[in-house]
Amino acid sequence: QIQLVQSGPELKKPGESVKISCKASGYTFTDYAMHWVKQVPGKGLKWMGWINTYTGKPTYADDFKGRFVFSLEASASTANLQISNLKNEDTANVFCARWGYSSPFAYWGQGTLVTVSS
Amino acid sequence: DVVLTQTPVSLSVTLGDQASISCRSSQSLEYSDGYTYLEWYLQKPGQSPQLLIYEVSNRFSGVPDRFIGSGSGTDFTLKISRVEPEDLGVYYCFQATHDPYTFGAGTKLELK
């Protein structure tokens, strides 16, 4: 069955970096784009951008340009999100989600809670 | 950026009632290929969102037929007939026609 399994919760200090992974299984990884979605605790969903898993080309929403990097380990069917120079406002649950035509975001990771606190 | 305005913000229902959620877009969501990329998701407490409806009115596999999506252009509606306990949570509309993709702010469906 199709699964997206994300790495565990992270507690970081302002200015540090974090890398979140999203391991896919049950399908051909390079056939579907991977998107990233942010959710501040108790708030709504915000689209961060996506990565073409075939070419590796990332696309970022404006609010996520600069400190955010989407990358792949295609041989491991894994998409990664790295956030550098963490700020308090980066505290959020971050989800990966698989995009497919006729199945947009039909599959989600369980979410990774990133907490930024001094 | 496209703004999706969901109403109401919260909806209190009795089990078995019908519920209706509106999603209005600041721009037409019809893409140049003729498709309209407006989706609906339900997020239950402590869970990841789940896909209910894609391209305005198509139910995803396994979604009960009491969920009905409709609309066109800038106005869209999700109707839930005969609300059941497992339908409670926050509903989001989402558009993937215009970059950047955007979510509505959510509608919380709760018991009266």
B15-62 per-position pLDDT tens digit: 999 999 999 999 999 999 999 999 999 999 999 999 999 999 999 999
pLDDT at A37 over 90: yes
- What's the whole-number mean pLDDT along residues A67-91? 96
> Distance (Å, rounded) from C-alpha B78 to C-alpha B87?
13
- What's the whole-number mean pLDDT along residues B94-107? 97
The verdict on a CB contact (< 8 Å) between B48 and A108 is yes
Closest CA–CA distance from residue B107 to any residue of chain A (Å) = 10
Q: Which of A47, A104, A108 sits opposite B103 (nearest CB)?
A: A47
pLDDT at A74 over 90: no
Residue B62: Cβ-neighbour burial (10 angstroms; 0-12, 13-18, 19+): exposed
For chain B, helix (H) and strand (E) counts, in that order, are: 0, 11
What is residue A84's predicted lDDT score, i.e. its pLDDT? 98
Structure token digits, residue B112: 């009266």
Q: Which of B51, B105, B106 sits opposite A104 (nearest CB)?
A: B51
What is residue A101's predicted lDDT score, i.e. its pLDDT? 82
- Which residues are CB-neighbours of B36 under 8 A, at least 6 positions away? B29, B30, B55, B56, B72, B97
Which residues of chain B from 23 to 42 reach within 8 Å of chain A, CB to CB?
37, 39, 41
B58 to A28, A66, B33, B64, B92: CA distances (angstroms): 24, 37, 17, 11, 16
What is residue A116's predicted lDDT score, i.e. its pLDDT? 98
**Do A87 and A40 touch, CB atoms closer than 8 A?**
no
- What's the whole-number mean pLDDT along residues A33-54? 97
β-strand pairing of B38-43 with B50-54? antiparallel
